[in-house]
A and B are shown apart, each in its own frame.
Chain A
Amino acid sequence: MAAVTPLLLLLLLSSAPSFSSESRNAYNINGRVKIPQGLGLGTKGYALPGRMSNVKVLLNGGQNITFLRPDGYFSFHNIPAGTHLIEVSAIGYFFSPVRVDVSARNPGKVQAALTENRKGLSELVLEPLREEQYYEIREPFSIMSLLKSPMGLMVGFMLAVAFLMPKLVENMDPEEMRRAQEEMRSQGVPSLSSLLPGGAMN
């Protein structure tokens, strides 16, 4: 699990407004990516594939790319006013893209919303919507799964024929039995089925 650094560093930086204007037509977008510690623990012993240093933040489909500081903060510099799209690429997590409005009229105002569920954000803190599990989990071995496999069914059927059929034959009327056997003999089919007790049922 990527270490989420203590909040100490964060406080130092968060005093800066989210959008600070630098020159006439260019603004900065500052935000933070937060990966909650609790999310990573559900992986049942799998090594978490992504690390904090491999997280990328992308503006407008890759027009600008930036990386995270150890405390999860990121910033884009010299962004013109308008509506932008921020995406976070982190292996192992699903982030919703975020719509960010950089307004020329009142700089410093935060206007951000997740595009997936249209949830507004009061500050630009991006959290994963869910964890992504790229591998199927192997089902533990069970007798049932073995029995359900075609070969298991085959064996099961054979056993049923071998052990249940004689029981059925036993319950039959001996007269009827003899007649059936005679019938068989008259047909004279020397097959394995005639040798088996179950064959008498035909």
Chain B
Amino acid sequence: MAIRSFFLFILFFSSSLSPVFSLYEDQVGLMDWHQQYIGKVKQAVFSSQRAGRKRVVVSTEENVIASLDLRHGEIFWRHLLGADDVIDGIDIGLGKYVITLSSGGSILRSWNLPDGQMVWESSLQGPKHSKSFLLVPTNLKFDKDNVLVVFSNGRLHAISCIDGEVLWKKDFEAESFEVQQVIQPPGSDLIYVVGFAASYQFEMYQINAKNGELLKHESASFSSGFSGEVSLVSTETVVALDSTGSILQTISFQDGKISSQQTPISNLVEDSLGPAVIIPSSVSGIFAIKTDAVTVFIRVIGEGKLEVVEKTTHEIAVSDALSISEDQQAFALIQHASSEIHLTVKLAHDWDGNLLKESVKMDWQRGLVHKVFINNYIRTDRSYGFRVLIVMEDHSLLLLQQGEIVWSREDGLASIIDVTTSELPVERNGVSVAKVEHNLFEWLKGHMLKLKGTLMLASPEDMAAIQSMRLKSSEKSKMTRDHNGFRKLLIVLTRAGKLFALHTGDGRIVWSHLLRSLHKSEACQSPIGLNLYQWQVPHHHAMDENPSVLVVSRCGPSSDTPGVLSFVDTYTGKELSSLSLDHAVVQVIPLPYTDSTEQRLHLLINADKHAHLYPKTSEALSIFKREFLNIYWYSVEDQNGIIKGHALKCKCTGEVADEFCFDTRDLWSVVFPSESEKIVATVTRKLNEVVHTQAKVVADQDVMYKYISRNLLFVATVAPKGSGEIGSVTPEESWLVAYLIDTVTGRILHRVTHHGSQGPVHAVFSENWVVYHYFNLRAHRYEMSVIEIYDQSRADNKDVWKLVLGKHNLTSPISLFSRPEVITKSQSYFFTHSLKAIAVTSTAKGITSKQLLLGTIGDQVLALDKRFLDPRRTVNPTQAEKEEGIIPLTDSLPIIPQSYVTHALRVEGLRGIITVPAKLESTTLVFAHGVDLFFTQLAPSRTYDSLTEDFSYALLLITIVALVAAIFVTWRLSERKELQEKWR
């Protein structure tokens, strides 16, 4: 379809000011897709509404509160709270309000269940920090108004469910009192607050729920102390572990009297090993303790006597209790067994009798069950049915009912850590390809329909047919490489340690793989995925190999824990191999060299500044040795404010001979004075960026040479005082300094100070320019600045005579050690919005003009032409400059609604924007991720090298037919005329 002809001049024609990215409403979904997620579910509450659609309200680790359709798992509504506003608890009040407690118990909000509109918001303060609890008692009424009981920040509140008014509050100011449970026994007007004081004293407060009056306060001291959580086994009994984790304390506070009983765990379980922890559960009469190897369920039989009911070594997950009738409570238990999970629903008082026992086949790629939530419904025969919502290790959410998975959501995709792309397989003979157009007749019919649409003759049904035809065009979702490079695989690594491959055509998951190397093991306690690198991109030599990616992870949160590498085939999703390293991974440097199988050489720097070469082959080593002296890198220590440059020295001089390990040396260091500057942003050019030309022709037939170096680093520092939030500092004591540093020599090429400005700084570096976004405190607006850097050493070469006489310096060697003659130009503009992310479009050959992609605070992505950020803009450009396409200078950057790449959609919780060049020069692929995913194609200078999607082939055909017909008619006419003339 694409007519690939690089008519460069077309670029210059397209210099009109109209927004380049613009979309008609019926084009939504043709080239873009949008997926909504919520993240790993922390808590789920089922709506007990009898009528209407069944819902479940969930809160997640991405800080989302959402209402989901229980039948299909779709999102009814969803809100993403602020990053500091972590949700502590959710519940449903009065059957129609969703109550959320967040920000460490200091903000209580109520949302309308059907549409997610916020109803009220209360701010709860208190004397000190504490655990927070949210209780929604069903029968506690206060002047016909339902009451919410909230314990937060050391204060107990009773809050009206209707308007969020605080009815009464009671402080617990005792210095060392730590609340453990807040209990409201159903059917009574009492509230119990229990907790520990000074870690060996048990305290119980009995409070009148009507007015907050303290009725009783009892305490008892336990010499052995407490550890961990307490589990509530009845409304008046709790179980706690002593400080050694080996003795169970059963404490009951019936009628305000504290009595206790101690039971060593070894009395209950003979072969108990090591300290245990209590798994909190709300099932009455039963609690669970977990040691390293076993999980034990223990029942409390009156008077503090304990009895073991089950001991299991399987991975197990227990739900909270669900009361199904006046005195009956049920709960769900999930156990793993190879490829299946066993779901049992039991009654709290009857362990051996199962209400339900089901086995469900489970894809092991989903890992273990992490959480279970149970809900019941009444079947047509009036018996109870149960459905459970389970949260898996890969953060997906599944609904099980009647032994089947009713729906599943891949919510792991809400927390993407890193993204890379991979090509699809080449279309070969034998590779099955979906039939695109069945035959000529259908092809023509489709285009006739389109023509009818263009001519506005189509009926509504026709329009619908056209739209569906366009949307499901099988062309874009084929599993083979296409000529234009639009179809690719997006390889994403999620926080759960799962790798997904998404098809760029329609966003479907091609494969997903839970990395085994990211599984918890003895050697690796809490593995975290860090980055993805393209390991092998076969294109010249090794066409038969599948491309693969390298996943770098490490075993713990600190940077000196050993690293893990795994290699994953991007066509199949198979983990080819994995390596547990004996050293840490602080920095990964992909080198610009590949071996004969197109495996890219990577240098891993560890905590002791040793460099390790991968892959560990002799071939890689010989390539590496050749380039030994040409390898430089830098490191940023942002705590100390130091940037250092490094090079390789020699082989490791350690005790073990390892020829792939190298010692390094420091070349230079830039130390920022810690009292006046703090590093807030460092940005460098993308490694794979292509620059078409170094020369830039300016208005008066003059040429400027861009200073293009891969080793330029942009660093922004702010005054330490101004590194906080906006409004915390006055303009006089805040400044921002921008540097351009050469990372081979450590030379500072440019330095500029913006007085009265502060971070956060978002910056992007491309070709010879850098654009950064910061806050200007004087104007109290955001600003964006551009710095362009030009090479002056070649400026003299423009003289033809010098070239003729050989006095040019074109042949003089370029060395970074000689002082570069550079000039910089810069300019600043106001910009309205805060930014979350910034990126620049990248194309295959770098010819197409660039657009900046700005992820705004409203979670939209705005495309802004680079020409708006051109330091050569002036208020009154000359005629020549206007012809060159220079826009008259304005103080602020325009926001054109049509140039929102995400059009009317939001990429909720936007974190990153990735651009990938397509093979077609005009087009770049854009992937924005956060809690939502969004993908689209952009053509920053319009699609000058291909026909647009709505090009009417039928019109072309009709024109050709009409022309041919006209030729014949006129030919006949002329023949007849000639004949007549001859007869005359």
Contacts and interface: CB of A to CB of B under 8 A. Distances in A.
A94 B897 contact: yes
B906 interface: yes
Interface of B: 22-26, 28, 77, 79-85, 106-107, 109, 112, 115-121, 123, 125, 454-456, 725-728, 760, 775, 777, 779-782, 832-834, 836, 857-860, 892, 895, 897-898, 900, 903-904, 906, 955-956, 959, 962-963, 966-967, 969-971, 973-975, 977
Contacts of A56: 858
B904 A91 contact: yes
A130 to B, nearest CB: 9
Given A134-B23, A135-B24, A68 B903 contact: no
Interface residues of A, number: 62
Contacts of A91: 858, 860, 904, 906
A141 B952 CA distance: 14
Contacts of B857: 58, 61-62, 87, 89
Contacts of A121: none
10 contacts: A23-B125, A67-B121, A82-B727, A83-B780, A89-B857, A116-B892, A136-B23, A149-B955, A162-B966, A192-B971
B169 to A, nearest CB: 14
Given A63-B725, A87-B834, A46 B119 contact: no
Interface stretch (A33-41, A73-81, A183-191): A73-81
A168 interface: no
A66 interface: yes
Nearest to B110: A69
**Nearest 8 CB-CB pairs, A to B?**
A89-B858, A77-B123, A65-B82, A132-B897, A61-B834, A82-B727, A49-B904, A53-B117
A94 to B, nearest CB: 7
A61 B760 contact: yes
Contacts of B120: 69
B725 A60 contact: yes
Contacts of A192: 967, 971
B118 A195 contact: no
Interface in A71-111: 75, 77-78, 80, 82-85, 87, 89-92, 94, 96-97, 99
A64 interface: yes
Contacts of A46: 25
A161 to B, nearest CB: 9
Contact of B832 (A116, A138, A197): A116
Contacts of B977: 166, 197
Contact of B833 (A53, A97, A137, A166): A97
B665 to A, nearest CB: 41
A196 interface: yes
Contact of B971 (A62, A68, A78, A195): A195
A75 B164 CA distance: 14
B402 to A, nearest CB: 35
Nearest to B960: A151
A30 to B, nearest CB: 11
Given A63-B82, A65-B81, A133-B898, A154 B959 contact: yes
Contact of A80 (B454, B727, B860, B974): B727
A67 B445 CA distance: 50
A124 interface: no
Contact of A22 (B125, B727, B777): B125
A158 interface: yes
A64 B84 contact: yes
Most buried by B among A96, A116, A138, A151: A151
A99 B780 contact: yes
B963 A155 contact: yes
A70 interface: yes
Nearest to A46: B25
B779 A115 contact: yes
Contacts of A54: 906
A90 B904 CA distance: 10
B726 A60 contact: yes
B910 to A, nearest CB: 10
A201 to B, nearest CB: 13
A28 interface: yes
A66 B121 contact: yes
A82 B975 CA distance: 91
A126 interface: no
Contacts of A137: 24
Nearest to B116: A53
Nearest to B859: A89
B111 to A, nearest CB: 8
A14 B903 CA distance: 36
A6 interface: no
A134 B728 CA distance: 36
A42 interface: no
Nearest to B79: A67
A159 interface: yes
Given A65-B85, A134-B904, A141-B456, 15 more contacts: A23-B125, A52-B117, A53-B112, A56-B858, A61-B760, A64-B84, A78-B106, A80-B728, A99-B780, A115-B781, A115-B832, A116-B892, A132-B900, A133-B898, A151-B955
Nearest to A63: B725
A77 B903 contact: no
B779 A135 contact: no
Given A53-B77, A158-B963, A141 B974 contact: no
A87 B898 contact: no
B729 to A, nearest CB: 8
